[in-house]
Amino acid sequence: MRKIITAFLFCVLFLPVCNAQGNSPEDRYKRFQNYKKEYLRKQIGLTDKEAAQFFPLYDEMQLKKYRLNRQVRSEARRVAYSKTPVSEKEYASSAEALSLLPLKEAQIEREYYIRFRGILSPRKLFLYRRAENSFAKAMLQHRDKEQKKK
């Protein structure tokens, strides 16, 4: 009982302090997004005008991809962890949706690539794709640097 009370007090007293320091999931997500945008901006060499036009479309594209992923994966989790028997049709439908996910993401990216062409030069479009592909590596390096500071 004492452990439960101690854990409760810890949560009540210290978690608000952590959130005040910008450690909430929302704050971490915002920092991640800002870091990614700054990374892309530097790698592509966007001007202020280009960035002002590019990033609203980029955010829109990311949101569409996020919603698509969430919908498909939510259904796959429902099928995978169902407490009731799942029909072959449900398995087939979920498997089909998962197999089509990369294609649908590529279609979204293609749609926005066409829109980005009205904003960015061919060189900057090429640099954008290259920066997107190298971002994960840069993020890991950034994380390692941050951990060394602590």
Q: What are the residue ranges spanned by the domains of the chain?
A: 1-43+121-150, 47-119
The pLDDT, as a whole number, for residue 8 is 45
Share of the chain above pLDDT 70, in %: 85
Q: Band the pLDDT of 49: cuts 50, 70, 90.
A: very high
- Are 105 and 23 in contact by the 8 Å Cβ rule? The answer is no
Q: Band the pLDDT of 71: cuts 50, 70, 90.
A: very high
The pLDDT, as a whole number, for residue 20 is 53
User: Shortest CA distance to 62 belongs to which of 101, 30, 33?
Assistant: 33
Tell me the average pLDDT across 100-114: 97
pLDDT digits (tens, 9 = 90+) for 125-134: 999 999 999 9
SS (H, E, C) the chain: CHHHHHHHHHHHHHHHHHHHCCCCHHHHHHHHHHHHHHHHHHHHCCCHHHHHHHHHHHHHHHHHHHHHHHHHHHHHHHHHCCCCCCCHHHHHHHHHHHHHHHHHHHHHHHHHHHHHCCCCCHHHHHHHHHHHHHHHHHHHHHHHHHHHHC
CA distances from 19 to 10, 25, 28 (A): 13, 9, 10
